[in-house]
Amino acid sequence: MKIGVVGASGYAGGELLRLLASHPHFEVTAITAHSNAGEQITSVHPQLQSYAGKKFNEFSAADFKNCDLIFLALPHGESAKVIATLPTSAKIVDLGADYRLESAEQWSKYYGGDYAGVWTYGLADIEPFKSLIAKSTKVANPGCYATSIALGAAPSASIADLSDVVVVAASGTTGAGRSAKINLIASEVAGSLTSYKFGGVHQHTPEIEQALTKLSGSVAKISFTPILAPMPRGILSTITAKLTKKVSTEEVHALYASFFADSQFVTVLPIGSMPKTASLTGSNHVQIQVAVDEHTSRLVVSVALDNLGKGAAAQAIQSANIMCGFDEAAGLAFDGLGV
């Protein structure tokens, strides 16, 4: 299949190119990057030697006319501007936020600008989303934080109150994108932790609530505090919710293991083992651990993933595989780096 990538110079775009280079069914034939048009791909992504000698092109719809599948890795609000120019026959996965939210009001509150509409939500490891992806030609890839929190909270709908979920999650600096920002330079980040978008204003909040509301059948609400961690990539989320029935850690662990029994990428670790971001670097895998805090009757869930892998490019490819009828693990069947 002929593949196009729009916005390939960013971190997520670079990760897409890396993973697509070894995909058994996909051949990348169109690569664009507006701000880096004309530059060698390896000058921006020196790790991508399989693309040596190739350049980023300025976006032109004509470059994508023969593409069967297109990935959009553009800043939020930009995908909707190019959709109308792309071939209607092509399947599309958007890594941005433009088509994630069902509510125009929520889009206006958290992002601003014109509301573009909603596509199938690409949370590929959970039903009913997986089945919907298989029937879709347009998929909105979940946000990185949203992926970790939705996966971590979803199995608890039958035992916990999802109307009052508290989340504290730390992410590596690549989650803020590639644009130069003073607060992200090494001297500011190294040896330090800081919260940001404090007080429940992070833009992933409405999509997490939207996904959990669909899965639980009742209105979900989260209080989410993100933290900037002094590392390039990875997310570690800690999720807590009030239990609605008396259960043990062992019972919750069995519930989670059963929920993800058919998932090729979500691992509920043995009791006593904890998720570790480095274990997932470069992969599409997720690690989860659970516990019951008997003192407060709260469920505690720890989730780790790679924000550029499972939180962006790898999950986008997983959804694309499902859309195209391939094994969902095609091009993704490898472990994380570990160090």
Taking the CA of residue 248 as centre, how many other CA atoms within 13 Å lie in the half-sphere pointing to its CB? 4
Q: Which two tokens stand for residue 123?
A: 């949370």
Q: Say which of 48, 83, 144, 146 is annotated catalytic.
A: 144
Question: For residue 314, which amino acid is it?
Answer: A
Q: Are 282 and 309 contacting, i.e. CB atoms less than 8 angstroms apart?
A: yes
CA distances from 194 to 138, 256, 273 (A): 36, 31, 26
- Identity of residue 212: L
Alpha helices by DSSP H, the chain: 11-20, 41-44, 79-83, 104-110, 129-134, 144-153, 186-189, 205-216, 249-259, 314-324
Catalytic site residue 144? yes
Secondary structure (3-state) at 103: coil
DSSP-derived secondary structure for 137-173: SEEEPPPHHHHHHHHHHGGGGGTEEEEEEEEEEEE-G
Q: Cβ(193)–Cβ(168) under 8 Å? A: no
Please list the active-site residues: 144
